[in-house]
Chains A and B, each alone.
Chain A
């Protein structure tokens, strides 16, 4: 790990311009948002931006391949690994290296989403 990274917190490098979706949105509306905006995932939120899940490219690809219908709630991932804004970037990088997920949502104590850190964000930051 570089010295540059170990001194930073999640809040300092997270992307906070988030496009979110609610669980009751039809799944194909979420698919179009992901495709049209060039995103790899959408955080799913309820009132006050409280994070309830994530719907990813992988989730929607499965829906499309199997020609299913329904709402985001039916297909989102709800078992999420999240971190707080004060987390050390070193720990975020470790989580992204050791697990198969591509991004870590950053949330406050009430589970309100503040931002996301993706593999790309970390690489961009270091290079």
Chain B
């Protein structure tokens, strides 16, 4: 069984709860990110800031003032590095998530997105076809 650690992206942009929301939105925009993990100083996961969180803020407020912790999704679903890839895939499908944060011993370790899963499943299918 393949584990989360084998396909997760580890070098991902992150933000902090007390970063201004403007800074976080600019970062998401300039780096074309669909979500930003929000980490506490000890690298535990404080939340996730998604495109939908940002759009809601833009739609409901006149100004994007405040800090990330006021707008992020608190306590997002996460998996440990030894979770299976298919378990994560089912979770993403069932919950309409774009990506899932991965932790190791409770600390943020990386992200797995729909794209990562699609690439993995395509490679796996390619290998199976070569084997047949």
Contacts and interface: CB of A to CB of B under 8 A. Distances in A.
B121 A97 contact: no
A57 B58 contact: no
Contacts of B60: 1, 97
Interface string B55-66: 110111010000
Interface in A1-25: 1-2, 5
B59 A97 contact: yes
Given A57-B115, A65-B89, A126-B58, A119 B96 contact: no
Interface string B27-65: 011001010000000000000000110111011101000
B74 interface: no
B117 interface: yes
A96 to B, nearest CB: 6
B12 interface: no
A93 interface: yes
Q: For chain B, which range describes its interface: under 10, 10 to 19, 20 to 34, or 35 or more residues?
A: 20 to 34
Contacts of A93: 55, 58-59
Nearest to B63: A2
Nearest to A32: B122
A88 B70 CA distance: 28
A62 to B, nearest CB: 5
B107 interface: no
Interface in B112-132: 114-115, 117-119, 121-122, 125
A1 B93 contact: no
10 contacts: A1-B58, A57-B115, A61-B93, A65-B90, A67-B125, A96-B55, A97-B59, A119-B51, A119-B52, A119-B54
Interface of A: 1-2, 5, 28, 31-32, 34-35, 38, 57-58, 60-62, 64-65, 67, 90, 93-94, 96-97, 100, 102, 119-120, 122-124, 126-127
The 3 closest A-B pairs by CB, nearest first: A64-B121, A119-B51, A57-B114
